Amino acid sequence: MKKRLISGLIVALSLVLTAGFAFAAVTGQCSNCHTMHYSQNGEVPAGAEPDGPWPVLLLGSCMGCHSNTGTATIKTGGIPVVWNTGGGTTDPGTAQSWSGANYNLAGGNFFYVSIADSRGHNIDGMYNQDAFLENNPPGYETARDPSTVRWSDSYMLTCAGSNGCHGNRNVDRSTYTDGFSASFVAIKGAHHGDDSTIDGSTVAASFRFLGSSALSTYSVLGLEDDDWQQSAAVDDHNEYKGAITQTDTKTISYLCSQCHGYFHSEISDQTPPSSPWTRHPTDTDVMGKGGEYANYNDVVAAGTYSLEAPVGYVNIPASPRQIVTAGDSPVICLSCHRAHGSPHDDILRWDYSTMLAGGGGADGTGCFRCHTTKD
């Protein structure tokens, strides 16, 4: 473990990247990001994170680049920020469109873990272990974890590898002294890789590096918004892969089920799974259920994509959908949760305590985007 808290570090890194970044491959001078000897005039190079040298001759760790002491969620050089260490960022809440430098990116923000453990995934090197859950993913099902190494409760969550979500989950966390080293091995090549087609064949070609060639059957598919939803609108957003059965291994919800298996697999006593459900279903269609579900997001207009409670796609659209339809509107884990962190308990996309049956609460929003007659 190099260090637990990051101070100013790579905020100072002045990367000079070309404008626009439709592809994830990084651009610019090698020295913007790499240091050959971790030494310049005999000292730590300007802009480098202290306590190096770091893996892959980089100026810092994953968190060094992907954090910010300020409130901007995309840093100089086009680095997406998932941890604004001082907070102050804006959650889009119920908005259908937004734009501004301080909006949390689509995965949310790890900052909220500093307010309460239950508001995000507790990642090694950011904050402490989750005081209540420790290193145990609720609902863990061994059979749902495709990693040959599998989850280990001896370690905290890391960005990538067997105890992480990104990259090659066959890279064994226990082989490395710290989570960062394992993460760099697990995503090796991704930042310089080709992601022009998201087909899951490599880390770079998986939705947001959530996959690898080693476990390509489980690589997540999707359409990647080019500013990670820092600005977003009904026709400007990520599209998440879903399905209408729980057997498709390339959905975003199957990825979550690699560590929270039972929440995806043991959801009903019927075969095939159907109402009455025993756990809230994912990878089942919303609008096709008819009744209240056919009016998904009717507070805006029935069938309009909701950025607050998004549904997945079954058939990949060429561009982000403004209107979703019956048969192509699966519930996904991210209909209700953020992936990294949110201002609400259980990493929810809204405050559950405001969901009041029979009116008087946050009518039309949150759960009511789908359960349109319960408000």
Q: Contacting ligand HEC (CB under 6 A), which of 47, 52, 78, 125?
A: 78
What character string, x for contact with ligand HEC (CB under 6 A) and - otherwise, covers 169-208? Answer: --------------xx--xxxxxx--x------------x
133 forms part of the interface with ligand HEC (CB under 6 A): yes
Closest distance of CB 111 from ligand HEC, Å: 14
Chain-centroid distance, C-alpha 330: 18
The angle at the Cα of 130, spanning 128 to 131, to the nearest 5 degrees, equals 95
Residue showing tokens 């308990």: 345
309 forms part of the interface with ligand HEC (CB under 6 A): yes
The angle at the Cα of 262, spanning 228 to 271, to the nearest 5 degrees, equals 110
Is-contact 52 45, C-beta < 8 A?
Answer: no
Closest distance of CB 235 from ligand HEC, Å: 19
Query: How many Cα atoms sit within 13 Å of 55 on the Cβ side?
Result: 20
Give the integer Cα–Cα distance in Å for 273 and 286. 14
Q: Contacting ligand HEC (CB under 6 A), which of 253, 304, 365, 372?
A: 253
Chain-centroid distance, C-alpha 351: 19
Pick the stretch among 90-98, 214-222, 233-241, 250-258 that binds ligand HEC (CB under 6 A): 250-258
Q: Contacting ligand HEC (CB under 6 A), which of 6, 33, 106, 221?
A: 33
Among residues 329, 340, 266, the alpha carbon closest in space to that of 302 is found at 329
273 forms part of the interface with ligand HEC (CB under 6 A): no
71 forms part of the interface with ligand HEC (CB under 6 A): no
Give the integer Cα–Cα distance in Å for 253 and 213. 19
370 forms part of the interface with ligand HEC (CB under 6 A): yes
What character string, x for contact with ligand HEC (CB under 6 A) and - otherwise, covers 336-355? Answer: xx-x------xxx---x--x
- Number of residues near ligand HEC (by CB under 6 A): 88
Chain-centroid distance, C-alpha 30: 28
Pick the stretch among 91-99, 214-222, 315-323, 330-338 that binds ligand HEC (CB under 6 A): 330-338
